[in-house]
Structure formats: C-alpha cells, structure tokens
Amino acid sequence: MSRIVYVNGEYLPEEDAKISVFDRGFIFADGIYEVSAVLGGKLVDCEAHLARLERSCGEINLPLPWSRAELVAIHEEMIKRNALDEGGVYLQVTRGAADRDFPFPKDAKPTLVLFTQARNYVNAPTVKTGIKVVTFPDLRWERRDIKSVGLLGQVLAKQYAAEQGANDAWLVEDGVVTEGASATAWIVKGKTLISRPLSNKVLPGITRKAVLAFLAETDFTFEERTFTLEEALDAEEAFITSATAFVMPVTTLDGHTIHNGAPGPTTLRLREIYVDFARKGGVLG
C-alpha cells in the first residue's frame, strides 16, 4: 500500500497527490517547513515545532489559516493512516499558486502539504560509531532563523559531504562554525557544552531547546558562544542535535578524529535523556 499524503484538506495516495506548477513554493521557494519526529506512534515536541512554524510564517508575512490544534490533528491522522511507529512527519506551507510574479499575490490561498517518512531514530547505526562530518562554506542567505524551503545551500553542503564519504556537513563562515547543514552544532570541553547564540545566523533548534532544558538533570553547564573550526578539532566531544538525529555524536571532522574517535560520555548521556523524553511524548513543561 502506498503512503497517504495530505494536500490542501485531502488525504491521498502519494501517486495521486498533486499541486499546481504555479505554486510559489515551487517557483520561488516561497514557503516554510517543519519536521516533527514520531516515536512509538506519538509526536515528539510537536507543539514547539508548530510554534516555530508560526514564527517563521510571521517573519515572511505568510498567512497560516490553520490553528495549532488543527495542525496537530492532521499530524495525528497522518500517523494513523500510515501506521507510522518511528519516523517523521514533514509539513510544508507555501503562499499558494499564482501566475509568476515576485510581489505577493492578492488572492492566492496557502498550500499545505504533509507526508510521513519511516526512519530508525533510536537505534540508528551511527549512534555507536558517531558520524563523519566535513566542513563547507556557509553560502546561505542572512535569515537562517527562518525555516525556509529554500535549501539549496544545504543541499550543496550535504552533497559535498556525501562525495567525501561523510555523513553530514558543518557550515563555516569567517572561520567560525555556524551550524550543521540541518542541525545544531555542539562541542564539549570538560563538563561544558558549547554552542553559538541564537540569532539570524542560525535556526533556533527545537532539540537544542530540549537539551538545554535537561541540563538541570545533569552536572553539565552551557556556554553560549561561537567556536572556531580549530577549537572543534581540539574538543573532547562534538555532537549535533535535530528532530531527526536527536543527539548524535560526531567522531570525525574533516578527516581528523575527535578525541579518541568514540562517542563521548556527555553526548551519550544527553542522548539517553532525550530518547527517554521522546518516548514519553516529548512535551516540555
């Protein structure tokens, strides 16, 4: 049986799902997206993702005519119809279809699309080995805090990583690590976690927010600042966080081994806490 996808109020087999060739998401990347993880058939921290969706849409003056409760209900129906136990639900909203012209159209209705992807998050093989990361110049626009569907910079970075035999890329600008191509970048020194401050330079990660909320359960501290590539190479541990990676150790960076080349205890402890959080439904108090 094919996947069921959601398109503008209809649940359809994926082969029957269609949008207009004039959709501004297709023509201009004029849209916003979110991905919510699913574990044990339950959404993980979906409310936080929808809050970020609302913020991103507000930043580009994109109307969002669905309430948060309505969007949660659509997510849950998608999980049910696709019998999804572990994976993710992708949501994309665009400004809608109109004849090609740069200014916002006056009468277009937003397009809403959702689909599911089955993925192995908890027992991913890379948890035991850590991932290989390479660096790539940050070619993106200046509003990286908006979760835009315009992802060409990230596509080029991840393609470069794949060609190098790596799992992912860290983006670098002026000698400083910005973030992962689709994740927040972290390093560890002693008991201190280091990641850069939120700004228009980075996406405000939902998993980042959850990890920081867990620090009270540990003896770790957090230092919010930028870090250089050289500092990352000299770190005791490195990891990424995202809705689909959870907390994932980085053990190789640009061909250099991080510390002893094995996932570190800080990273693994944070991942353990996050997975437990996700299994319980993933809602921060």
Integer Cα distance of 29 and 49 in angstroms: 20
Q: Which of 228, 136, 126 is nearest to 176 (CA)?
A: 228
Q: Supply the DSSP string of 139-198, one letter for each residue.
A: ---S-TTS-BS--HHHHHHHHHHHHTT-SEEEEEETTEEEEESSSEEEEEETTEEEEPPP
Q: Spot the catalytic one: 18, 42, 132, 147.
A: 147
Integer Cα distance of 68 and 207 in angstroms: 19
Q: In this structure, are residues 119 and 35 in contact, taking their beta carbons and an 8 Å threshold? A: no
Beta strand 256-257 pairing with 246-253: antiparallel
Q: Which of 212, 74, 211, 92 is nearest to 147 (CA)?
A: 92
Q: In this structure, are residues 94 and 30 in contact, taking their beta carbons and an 8 Å threshold? A: yes
Integer Cα distance of 224 and 220 in angstroms: 13
Asked about 42 being catalytic, the answer comes back as no
Reported residue count of the chain is 285
- The residues that are catalytic are 147
